[in-house]
Amino acid sequence: MKKLLLVLAVIFLATPLVIMAQQGAQPAPKINQMNNPGMQNMPCKHCGMMKKGMMMPPISDSEAKNIVNDYIKNNNLKGYSIVSIKKVNSHMGPKYYAELKDSAGNLFNVVIAHGGVVRGPFPTSEIK
Protein backbone atom coordinates (compact mmCIF):
# COMPACT_ATOMS: atom_id res chain seq x y z
CA MET A 1 0.00 0.00 0.00
CA LYS A 2 2.84 2.37 0.85
CA LYS A 3 4.50 1.64 -2.49
CA LEU A 4 1.28 2.39 -4.36
CA LEU A 5 0.88 5.74 -2.56
CA LEU A 6 4.52 6.59 -3.26
CA VAL A 7 4.14 5.82 -6.99
CA LEU A 8 0.94 7.86 -7.21
CA ALA A 9 2.58 10.82 -5.41
CA VAL A 10 5.56 10.75 -7.78
CA ILE A 11 3.27 10.62 -10.83
CA PHE A 12 1.09 13.42 -9.45
CA LEU A 13 4.07 15.67 -8.72
CA ALA A 14 6.03 14.86 -11.89
CA THR A 15 3.20 15.36 -14.40
CA PRO A 16 3.25 19.22 -14.36
CA LEU A 17 7.03 19.20 -14.79
CA VAL A 18 6.80 16.98 -17.85
CA ILE A 19 4.08 19.14 -19.38
CA MET A 20 6.10 22.33 -18.78
CA ALA A 21 9.21 20.76 -20.31
CA GLN A 22 7.29 19.76 -23.45
CA GLN A 23 5.83 23.23 -23.93
CA GLY A 24 9.07 25.04 -23.25
CA ALA A 25 9.60 28.08 -21.07
CA GLN A 26 7.53 30.99 -22.27
CA PRO A 27 8.20 34.47 -20.87
CA ALA A 28 5.31 36.51 -19.57
CA PRO A 29 4.00 38.97 -22.16
CA LYS A 30 5.05 42.58 -21.65
CA ILE A 31 2.23 45.09 -21.69
CA ASN A 32 2.93 48.60 -22.84
CA GLN A 33 0.12 50.81 -21.59
CA MET A 34 0.43 53.27 -24.46
CA ASN A 35 0.14 50.53 -27.11
CA ASN A 36 -2.58 48.60 -25.35
CA PRO A 37 -5.91 49.79 -26.80
CA GLY A 38 -7.73 48.90 -23.59
CA MET A 39 -5.64 51.33 -21.53
CA GLN A 40 -5.79 54.39 -23.79
CA ASN A 41 -7.98 57.30 -22.79
CA MET A 42 -8.80 55.79 -19.41
CA PRO A 43 -9.15 58.27 -16.57
CA CYS A 44 -6.51 58.07 -13.88
CA LYS A 45 -8.18 56.38 -10.91
CA HIS A 46 -5.72 57.77 -8.37
CA CYS A 47 -5.18 61.38 -9.32
CA GLY A 48 -7.92 62.43 -11.73
CA MET A 49 -5.47 64.13 -14.08
CA MET A 50 -5.99 62.20 -17.32
CA LYS A 51 -8.72 63.26 -19.74
CA LYS A 52 -8.98 61.47 -23.07
CA GLY A 53 -5.23 60.83 -23.17
CA MET A 54 -4.27 64.45 -22.55
CA MET A 55 -2.79 66.07 -19.47
CA MET A 56 -4.78 68.87 -17.89
CA PRO A 57 -3.16 72.31 -18.20
CA PRO A 58 -1.10 73.54 -15.24
CA ILE A 59 -2.67 75.90 -12.74
CA SER A 60 -1.42 79.35 -11.75
CA ASP A 61 -0.65 80.71 -8.28
CA SER A 62 -3.97 82.53 -7.98
CA GLU A 63 -5.89 79.45 -9.16
CA ALA A 64 -4.10 77.35 -6.52
CA LYS A 65 -5.17 79.78 -3.80
CA ASN A 66 -8.77 79.74 -5.07
CA ILE A 67 -8.74 75.93 -5.20
CA VAL A 68 -7.56 75.72 -1.57
CA ASN A 69 -10.20 78.25 -0.43
CA ASP A 70 -12.91 76.25 -2.24
CA TYR A 71 -11.56 73.05 -0.68
CA ILE A 72 -11.80 74.60 2.80
CA LYS A 73 -15.38 75.74 2.18
CA ASN A 74 -16.62 72.54 0.49
CA ASN A 75 -15.09 70.08 2.97
CA ASN A 76 -16.44 71.70 6.13
CA LEU A 77 -13.02 72.78 7.40
CA LYS A 78 -14.37 75.60 9.58
CA GLY A 79 -11.72 77.65 11.33
CA TYR A 80 -8.99 76.70 8.84
CA SER A 81 -6.97 79.45 7.17
CA ILE A 82 -4.13 79.50 4.65
CA VAL A 83 -0.73 80.21 6.21
CA SER A 84 1.40 79.86 3.07
CA ILE A 85 1.43 78.37 -0.42
CA LYS A 86 4.67 77.03 -1.88
CA LYS A 87 5.14 76.29 -5.60
CA VAL A 88 7.32 73.34 -6.64
CA ASN A 89 8.21 72.60 -10.26
CA SER A 90 8.20 68.92 -11.17
CA HIS A 91 8.53 66.97 -14.40
CA MET A 92 4.75 67.19 -14.97
CA GLY A 93 4.42 70.90 -14.26
CA PRO A 94 3.98 73.07 -11.18
CA LYS A 95 2.60 71.56 -7.99
CA TYR A 96 1.60 73.51 -4.88
CA TYR A 97 1.91 72.79 -1.17
CA ALA A 98 -0.38 74.84 1.05
CA GLU A 99 0.01 75.07 4.79
CA LEU A 100 -3.26 75.43 6.70
CA LYS A 101 -3.86 76.39 10.32
CA ASP A 102 -6.95 75.41 12.28
CA SER A 103 -8.57 77.29 15.16
CA ALA A 104 -6.52 75.32 17.73
CA GLY A 105 -3.22 76.32 16.08
CA ASN A 106 -2.48 72.93 14.47
CA LEU A 107 -0.70 73.03 11.11
CA PHE A 108 -1.75 70.90 8.16
CA ASN A 109 -0.36 70.41 4.65
CA VAL A 110 -2.50 70.25 1.52
CA VAL A 111 -1.11 69.18 -1.86
CA ILE A 112 -2.53 70.73 -5.03
CA ALA A 113 -1.53 68.52 -7.96
CA HIS A 114 -0.95 69.60 -11.55
CA GLY A 115 -4.57 69.46 -12.66
CA GLY A 116 -5.97 71.13 -9.54
CA VAL A 117 -6.60 67.89 -7.65
CA VAL A 118 -6.33 68.43 -3.87
CA ARG A 119 -5.03 65.87 -1.36
CA GLY A 120 -5.05 66.35 2.37
CA PRO A 121 -5.14 67.85 4.91
CA PHE A 122 -2.16 66.03 6.42
CA PRO A 123 -1.04 67.00 9.94
CA THR A 124 2.52 68.38 10.06
CA SER A 125 3.02 67.54 13.73
CA GLU A 126 1.20 66.07 16.69
CA ILE A 127 -2.37 67.34 17.02
CA LYS A 128 -2.99 69.55 20.07
Any idea where the domains of the chain sit in the sequence?
Answer: 55-123
- In CATH, the architecture of 55-123 is Roll (3.10)
pLDDT, position 38: 52
| Cα–Cα distance, 76 to 1 (Å, whole number) | 74
| pLDDT digits (tens), the chain, 128 positions | 888 888 888 787 777 666 666 666 555 555 554 555 555 455 554 444 454 434 677 788 899 999 999 999 888 788 899 999 999 988 777 889 999 998 888 999 999 987 788 888 888 876 66
How crowded is residue 59: how many other Cβ atoms within 10 Å of its Cβ?
22
Residue type, 101: K
Residue 21 Rama label (left phi>0; alpha psi -120 to 50; beta): alpha
**In contact, 111 and 121? CB cutoff 8 Å:** no
- Cis, peptide link before residue 57, omega less than 30° from 0: no
Give the pTM: 0.54
